[in-house]
Amino acid sequence: MRIRPVLETDLDELFTLYAHYTASENRPPLSEARMAEIWREVERNPGVEYFALEQEGRIAATCILSITPSFIRGGSGYGVIEHVVTHADFRRRGFAKALMEFTLEHAWNQGCTEVMLLSGRDLAPAHKLYEGLGFDKHQRTGFIIFKP
Amino acid sequence: MRIRPVLETDLDELFTLYAHYTASENRPPLSEARMAEIWREVERNPGVEYFALEQEGRIAATCILSITPSFIRGGSGYGVIEHVVTHADFRRRGFAKALMEFTLEHAWNQGCTEVMLLSGRDLAPAHKLYEGLGFDKHQRTGFIIFKP
């Protein structure tokens, strides 16, 4: 098991993994050209890290950490974690926990004062994982709006 | 009233405004050099926009929009809004609403499929504003962890 940045050569496997994300609505097809263009944006953005947890030569879990430089709480930024996905073949083995621990450690090392995330209201097992890592779900209310 | 990007020359006023943010814990002093360094990081990051709503030559409200390039929902990214602050002298005049509408429009124009935010659980007036803009607070649970 090792955790490392996602590489462009992982993208096909990453898209397959995203099909394990909450629902099929999450992955309408994008053209190869569009995907490559989006990946260029990821590479251009110094605050965005796509991480992969590799096991037996496959990507077992992934997440994205975005760090926004900011001036409050005496630190230098806040982090947001999104698109936390574990492959169905690799669940209940602690991989998501290991990946989240790695990601939080990375955020603290980058000077983040806080890390936030939003999780589907009914995803109880995920909530248990996040609370076990020290996240508090009572301090903040999560809001979402989709493109009209 | 006009909405525009924050400029480096606004930073002193921005820090004063952050004192109007939820609590004093939000603004321990940073050195001038450290502040300039963090601002360089903002400028280097193509996904981060600091917006200011200017009224009568002063910054009446501000927020940060961070866009993370991503591959799901057929779009090209998700947005997160943070540090939404209205100056105490300028409240109850619709400025926060105007700023949020501008910021959402910017996010949709940049290809975002969704925009998220977390708000202090007890900030009822803010929640009313966000729900009025179309945000849903029932789909996601917000989690936060502070640097140990």
pLDDT tens-digit map of B50-70: 999 999 999 999 999 999 999
The CATH number given to A2-116 is 3.40.630.30
Q: What is the pLDDT of residue B6?
A: 97
Question: Taking 80 as the threshold, does the pLDDT of residue B141 lie above it?
Answer: yes
Using the Cβ of A69 and the Cβ atoms of chain B, whether some distance falls under 8 Å is answered with yes
Planar angle of CA B104, B77, A1, nearest 5 degrees: 140
CATH topology of domain B2-132: Aminopeptidase (3.40.630)
Partners of residue A131 in chain B, C-beta under 8 Å: 143
Q: Check B119 against A130: CB less than 8 A apart.
A: no
Q: What is the mean pLDDT of residues B16-31?
A: 71
Residues of A in contact with B77 (CB under 8 A): 38, 41
Query: How far, in Å, CA of B118 to CA of A144, rounded?
Result: 9
Ranges of beta strands (E only) in chain A are 2-5, 48-55, 58-68, 77-86, 112-120, 140-146
C-alpha distance across the termini of chain A, in Å: 41
Instruction: Give the up-direction half-sphere exposure of residue B97: CA atoms within 13 A in the CB hemisphere.
Output: 12
Per-residue pLDDT, A74: 79
Cβ of residue A128 closer than 8 Å to a chain B Cβ? no
* pLDDT mean over B72-87: 91
ipTM for the complex shown? 0.95
CA dihedral A39, B64, B10, B5 (to 10 degrees): 60
Considering the entire predicted model, what is its pTM? 0.95
Q: pLDDT of chain A along its 148 residues, tens only?
A: 999 999 999 998 998 888 776 555 556 678 888 889 999 999 999 999 999 999 999 999 999 999 999 988 877 899 999 999 999 899 889 999 999 999 999 999 999 999 999 999 999 999 999 999 999 999 999 999 999 9
